[in-house]
Structure 1
C-alpha cells in the first residue's frame, strides 16, 4: 500500500511539475512595484474635473386645491384658514446635477431634472449660486441645455470623449450630488454597452456602470481615466430607490448632438430616412433563419424617402451600420442620430438570407403637408387643444409612435380647457368627428366651429383607436 501511494505521488510530480510553485505564488499577495503605485489615487483627476460638475435646482409654481370641507364654516373654525376650496399655490422643487461643457457657461443636464420648471438655479463647486436660462430641452433624449447668468466666464469645463471608444471593463467615475448631500464621487467600471431596454427616454442606448448612482445624480458626469466626459448619468435600476450597482448614462456622442444644436440655433434636428423598423423576436429569427435574434427588420419604406432611394425594401434586415453590429432598432437609431443630417451611412443587410449593402444619405424630415398649427377656441370637446398636420417632420419632432402618417395631431392641451377635461392628451391623433374623416387642421377647425348636440369622436392613442360620444 505504501509503495502504491509513493508511486502515485511520484507520477503526480512527473505530470504536474509546476503545481507547488504555482500554489505558493497564488497564496502570496503581490507587492506594489513602486511607492507611486502604492499611493495611486483618483484625487488629481477629481480635482481637475469636479469644478465643472454643478448642482441644478428647478422649481415651479403649482396650484393646489384645498379640501372641499374647508367650504364649511364648521370645519374652518376647527382647522383655520379661509377662502374655502379656492386653489392655493405651492412651490414644487426638483434636484439634480449638471456638467459645464463650454467656458461661456453652457450646462448639460437631464430633461427630467428641469421639466416644466419656472425657475432654474445652478450651484457651482465654489459655492456661487447662479440663475440659468433653459436654452434647449428634449424629452426624447432626456437631455437639456442651460446657460448660466449673472457671472462672467470663463467657467471650468469637462471635455467630451468618444463614447464609442469605451470598452466593457474600463474604469469610470460618477460625479454628482446624490440626495442633495453635496458633491460626491463614486468609482466603478463600464458594466455593459448599448443597453436599449431601460425605458428612460425614446432614444434608448445607454452605458451601464456599477459606479454608485443615486437620486440627485441625474445630469451628473460619468468620466473616464483621462477626465473626459463619456456620459451623462441619467437612471438607475432599483426597487428601493437606492443604488444597487446598476446605473445608466447617456453616451457623450449622443449628448454632443443636443449641445451642438443648443450652440447653433437651439433646435434639435434628427436625421430621417423614411423607414419603419421592428424588433426581431425569437419567432421572427427562426423564420428568417437566424441563429439568434438581432438586427432591425424593415417593416415599411416611405415613397421618395432616402431609404427608398438607397434600395431598402420591407423584409430587409439591417445587421450593421458602418461596420458596427446592430442588435435592435434602438441601436440603429443611435447610430443614425450620432452621424447627423447630411452624413452617409453604409448599412449591412440580410436580404432573403443573403448579405447585401446599402448606402443611405441622412436627410431632414420633410414638412409635407405644412404644419398649419391652430389652437381651437370654439366651444367643442377640442376647445384649448393645439393641433398640427401630421408630416414626417412632425412625427420626428414629437416622437409620435402611432401607425398613422396623415391626419391631425394634438400637440398641446391647455390646463383647465374643455379638451383637458374631456381627457385629450398631447400625441393623440384625431381620426373622425361625427363620422367625417379629419384630414387637416383647417378641416377640424371648421367642424368644431359649428355647434352640435352630440360629438362622436374617434381618436388614435398609442396605436389604438378610441371611440366615444360626448354631449354638446
Structure 2
C-alpha cells in the first residue's frame, strides 16, 4: 500500500509540474497565449515608443511622425512669368515675307515655374519663405496649401545674395513650421527634404547632413548645409527638417549629374533664413555691413610672424575709396581680429562684417610685415551682389 501511495504521489507531482510548464510556455508561444495573458492582466502588445519615431531594436525605421508635423507647413508655389524671346524667321526670301506678312522679331509667352515654400508666420497674414529664383520676375504667384486651398501671393521682399524671398498670403488657420536650433545640427544627422519635385506634390526624401558651413561663393557672407537627401526641380524653397519635424534649412540648389555629381544638394541654414526673414518683413530688403576688401587664407609663407594657433585672413584687394582703404588697410595685410572676435577664415570675416550695421565703427587688428597694427573702420553698406548660381535645380 505504501509503495502504491508513493507511486500515486509521484505521478501527481509530475502532472502538476507538467501543467505549470505548459502554462508558462503558453504565455510566450505566438498567438496561443493571448487569452491567458489577457485573463491574467498581462500586456497583449508591445508598448508604444516614448518618442515620435518608431523603433525596431536600436535603430529608427520610420520618420512618419516628423513628416506629419512638418508637411502641413510646406506649400507648392506656381509662379507665372511673361517671357520675351527672339522669333525664328521662317521665310528668308523677301518676296515670301511680303506675301505672308513677314515674321515678328520677338514674341512673348507665359512660362510657369514650379517651386516650394514654408509657412513661417501666421500673425495677421501668413508669410511664406521660399527661394528668390522660384518667384523672380513673376507676374502672378499662386500658393497651393497642404489642405488643398489655393491662395494668391504677393511679394514682400527678396534677397538675391541668399536666394531667399518672402511671400504674403491671405488665409486663415495656417500651420506654422517649428524652427530648430541650428547650433545643434551636425554632419551625420538624419534630415528629410519635403517639397514639390517635378510637380509630384508633397514628396519626402531622406538623407544625412553631409557638411555644415559650406561656402559656395568666396565673395558671399553666407554658408550652406550640404545634404545627400534628394533635391530636384521643384524642391527649391521647400523644407529640410530634422527627425523631430523642425525646420533646419530651406532647400535651394543641387549639383546635378551633368557635373558628374550625385547626392550633393544644398540648403540655406535656418539661422540665416531667420535673419533674412525678419529684415524682409520689416524693410523689404536686407542691409549688410561692408569693409570694402577681399580676403584669402593666410599663405604659409606669410605665417612666420603669427602664433601657431592664429588663423586670420590676408587682404588680397582693397576697394578704392572704400571703408578699408580710408582706414589705412592695405593689400597683403593680415587681419586677426574684428571688434572683440578672432577671425577664423575669409568666410568667418564676411559673416561677421555682414552682421554689423552700416555706419558702425569697429576696430580691426592685424599684422603688416610682421608688425601689429590697429585701425578703426567705419562700415559702409554692402553693394548688391549677383544671385547665387543654381547648378541643376
Do the two structures share a fold, i.e. TM-score over 0.5?
Answer: yes
Aligned-pair distance for 1:349? Answer: 5.2
Match of 1:54 among 67, 75, 79: 75
User: What's 1:5 paired with?
Assistant: none
Structure 1 CA distance, aligned partners of 2:361 and 2:244? 31
User: What's 2:303 paired with?
Assistant: 288
CA contact (8 A) 2:323 2:378 kept: no
Match of 1:230 among 240, 244, 248: 248
Provide, for residues 334-389 of structure 1, a one-character-per-residue CA deviation record: whole Å limited to 9, x for no partner: 244346668898978566568x79798985x3xxxxxxxxxxxxxxxxxxxxxxxx
Provide, for residues 69-127 of structure 1, a one-character-per-residue CA deviation record: whole Å limited to 9, x for no partner: 258698689xx996632643211221111111111311111111111111111111112
CA contact (8 A) 2:312 2:334 kept: no
CA contact (8 A) 1:69 1:75 kept: no
Structure 2 CA distance, aligned partners of 1:225 and 1:350? 46
User: What's 1:371 paired with?
Assistant: none
User: What's 1:297 paired with?
Assistant: 314
Structure 2 CA distance, aligned partners of 1:94 and 1:292? 49
Instruction: Find the residue that maps to 2:70 and give its secondary structure.
Output: helix
The 3 A distance-change label for structure 1 pair 400 and 228 is: closer
CA contact (8 A) 1:171 1:189 kept: yes
The 3 A distance-change label for structure 1 pair 338 and 305 is: closer
Q: Map residues 63-462 of structure 1 onto 2, 5 A cutoff.
A: 63-70=84-91, 84-85=103-104, 87-103=106-122, 104-148=125-169, 151-197=170-216, 202-240=220-258, 244-272=262-290, 274-280=291-297, 284-289=299-304, 295-298=312-315, 299-300=317-318, 305=323, 315-318=333-336, 326-328=344-346, 330-338=347-355, 363=379, 365=380, 393=381, 396-399=382-385
Structure 2 CA distance, aligned partners of 1:399 and 1:302? 18
CA contact (8 A) 2:85 2:107 kept: yes
Structure 2 CA distance, aligned partners of 1:224 and 1:193? 14
Q: What is the RMSD of the two structures over their aligned residues, measured on CA atoms?
A: 4.1
CA contact (8 A) 1:145 1:262 kept: yes
The 3 A distance-change label for structure 1 pair 126 and 350 is: farther
Structure 1 CA distance, aligned partners of 2:268 and 2:93? 52
Provide, for residues 142-195 of structure 1, a one-character-per-residue CA deviation record: whole Å limited to 9, x for no partner: 1111111xx432411113333233222222221111111111112222111111
Aligned pairs, how many?
A: 328
The 3 A distance-change label for structure 1 pair 169 and 180 is: same
The 3 A distance-change label for structure 1 pair 92 and 305 is: same
Structure 2 CA distance, aligned partners of 1:304 and 1:66? 45
Which has the higher mean CA deviation after the structures are superposed, 48-57 or 189-198?
189-198
Structure 1 CA distance, aligned partners of 2:343 and 2:363? 12
Structure 2 CA distance, aligned partners of 1:362 and 1:163? 31
Please tell me whether Structure 1 or Structure 2 has the larger radius of gyration of its CA atoms: 2
Structure 2, unpaired ranges of 5+:
1-45, 50-54, 388-393
Structure 2 CA distance, aligned partners of 1:138 and 1:84? 39
Structure 1, unpaired ranges of 5+:
1-32, 366-392, 402-472
User: What's 1:458 paired with?
Assistant: none
Provide, for residues 293-348 of structure 1, a one-character-per-residue CA deviation record: whole Å limited to 9, x for no partner: 96432344888948977x966512347897676332x3322244346668898978
The 3 A distance-change label for structure 1 pair 342 and 87 is: closer
The 3 A distance-change label for structure 1 pair 47 and 35 is: closer
Instruction: Find the residue that maps to 2:69 and give its secondary structure.
Output: helix
Provide, for residues 406-464 of structure 1, a one-character-per-residue CA deviation record: whole Å limited to 9, x for no partner: xxxxxxxxxxxxxxxxxxxxxxxxxxxxxxxxxxxxxxxxxxxxxxxxxxxxxxxxxxx
Structure 1 CA distance, aligned partners of 2:189 and 2:376? 33
CA contact (8 A) 2:73 2:118 kept: yes
Aligned-pair distance for 1:49? Answer: 0.7
The 3 A distance-change label for structure 1 pair 234 and 345 is: farther
CA contact (8 A) 2:161 2:386 kept: no
TM-score norm. by structure 1 comes to 0.59
CA contact (8 A) 1:194 1:331 kept: no
